[in-house]
Amino acid sequence: CHGSTVKQQRRFPDDFVFGAATASYQIEGAWDEDGKGENIWDYMTHTNPTVIRDSSNGDIAADSYHNYKRDVEMMRELGLDAYRFSLSWARILPTGMANEINPAGIAYYNNLINEMLKYNIEPMITLYHWDLPQKLQELGGFVNPLFTDWFEDYARVVFENFGDRVKMFITFNEPYQICYQGYGATIKAPILNSTAIGTYLCAKHLVVAHAKAFHLYDKEFKPTQKGVCGITISVNWFDAATDTEEDRAAAEMKRQGEWGLYAHPIFSSEGGFPKEFSEKVAAKSAQQGYARSRMPEFTEEENAFVRGASDFFGVNHYTAKMVSATQYKEDAPVPSFMDDMDVGQFALPEWPVGASSWLMLVPNSIYNTLTHLKEKYNNPVFYITENGWSSYPDSSLIDDDRITYYRSSMESLLNCLDDGINLKGYMAWSLMDNYEWMQGYQERFGLYHVNFEDPARTRTPRKSAFVYKHIIKNRFVDYEYEPDTM
Ligand code: PNW
Ligand 1 centre and the CA of 364: distance in Å? Answer: 19
Q: How confident is the model at residue 56 (pLDDT cuts 50, 70, 90)?
A: very high
Q: Which residue has the higher pLDDT, 140 or 7?
A: 140
Mutation test residue for ligand 1: of 254, 318, 402, the one with most atoms within 8 Å of CB: 318
Distance CA 376, CA 364 (A): 19
Active site residue ranges: 174, 386
Ligand 1 centre and the CA of 337: distance in Å? Answer: 19
The stretch 412-432 carries a mean pLDDT of: 98
The pLDDT assigned to 352 comes to 98
Rounded to 5 degrees, what are φ and ψ at 12?
Answer: -85, 140
Which numbered atom of ligand 1 lies nearest the CA of 319? Answer: 17
Ligand 1 centre and the CA of 224: distance in Å? Answer: 34
Q: How confident is the model at residue 430 (pLDDT cuts 50, 70, 90)?
A: very high
How far lies 457's CA from each of 64, 251, 464, in Å? 9, 43, 20
Residues β-bridged to residue 238:
321
SS3 328: coil
SS3 308: coil
Residue 334 exposure: Cα atoms within 13 Å on the Cβ side: 8
245-255 and 275-287 are packed helices; what angle lies between their axes, rounded to 10 degrees?
Answer: 90
Distance CA 446, CA 191 (A): 26
The pLDDT assigned to 486 comes to 74
**Cβ neighbours of residue 284 closer than 8 Å, sequence gap 6 or more:** 294, 335, 339, 340
Amino acid at 427: M
Q: Are 41 and 88 in contact (CB under 8 A)?
A: no
Distance CA 387, CA 338 (A): 25
The torsion defined by the Cα of 136, 141, 146 and 148, in degrees rounded to 10, comes to 100
Residue 308: closest CA among 392, 396, 415, 215: 215
Mutation test residue for ligand 1: of 231, 437, 438, the one with most atoms within 8 Å of CB: 437
Ligand 1 centre and the CA of 159: distance in Å? Answer: 26
Which numbered atom of ligand 1 lies nearest the CA of 236? Answer: 17
Distance CA 349, CA 28 (A): 37
Ligand 1 centre and the CA of 236: distance in Å? Answer: 10
pLDDT at 130 over 80: yes
Distance CA 314, CA 171 (A): 10
The pLDDT assigned to 5 comes to 53
Which numbered atom of ligand 1 lies nearest the CA of 429? Answer: 10
Q: Are 84 and 120 in contact (CB under 8 A)?
A: no
Ligand 1 centre and the CA of 101: distance in Å? Answer: 30
In the chain, the largest separation of any two C-alpha atoms, in whole Å, equals: 69
Q: How confident is the model at residue 6 (pLDDT cuts 50, 70, 90)?
A: low
Which numbered atom of ligand 1 lies nearest the CA of 434? Answer: 9
Of all protein residues, whose CA lies closest to atom 21 belonging to ligand 1?
234
Mutation test residue for ligand 1: of 316, 430, 434, the one with most atoms within 8 Å of CB: 316
Q: Record the pTM.
A: 0.97
SS3 11: coil
Q: Which residues have C-beta atoms less than 6 Å from ligand 1?
A: 23, 26, 173-174, 177, 234, 236, 316, 318-319, 358, 386, 429, 436, 445
CA-based Rg of the chain, rounded to a whole angstrom? 22
The pLDDT assigned to 49 comes to 98
Of all protein residues, whose CA lies closest to atom 8 belonging to ligand 1?
436
pLDDT at 457 over 50: yes
Residue 9 exposure: Cα atoms within 13 Å on the Cβ side: 15
Ligand 1 centre and the CA of 220: distance in Å? Answer: 33
- How much helix, strand and coil, in percent to the nearest 5, is found in the chain? 40, 15, 45
pLDDT at 407 over 90: yes
The pLDDT assigned to 484 comes to 85
Of all protein residues, whose CA lies closest to atom 16 belonging to ligand 1?
177
Which numbered atom of ligand 1 lies nearest the CA of 359? Answer: 15
The stretch 19-42 carries a mean pLDDT of: 99
Q: Could you read off the pLDDT of 91-126 as tens digits, one per residue?
A: 999 999 999 999 999 999 999 999 999 999 999 999
Q: How confident is the model at residue 9 (pLDDT cuts 50, 70, 90)?
A: confident
Mutation test residue for ligand 1: of 28, 171, 177, the one with most atoms within 8 Å of CB: 177
Distance CA 125, CA 171 (A): 8
Of all protein residues, whose CA lies closest to atom 15 belonging to ligand 1?
358
The stretch 419-431 carries a mean pLDDT of: 98
Q: Are 126 and 154 in contact (CB under 8 A)?
A: no
Ligand 1 centre and the CA of 4: distance in Å? Answer: 34
Distance CA 118, CA 143 (A): 41
- For residues 322-345, one letter each, b for 16 or more C-beta atoms within 10 angstroms of the residue's C-beta and e for the rest, the string is bbbbeeeeeeeeebbbbbbbbbbb
For 79, counting Cβ atoms within 10 Å of its Cβ (0-12 exposed, 13-18 middle, 19+ buried), the class is middle
Amino acid at 10: R
Question: What is the C-alpha end-to-end distance of the chain, expressed in Å?
Answer: 26
Give just the sign of the alpha carbon dihedral 330, 336, 339, 345: negative
**Cβ neighbours of residue 249 closer than 8 Å, sequence gap 6 or more:** 276, 325
Within a 10 A sphere around the Cβ of 316, how many other Cβ atoms?
Answer: 23
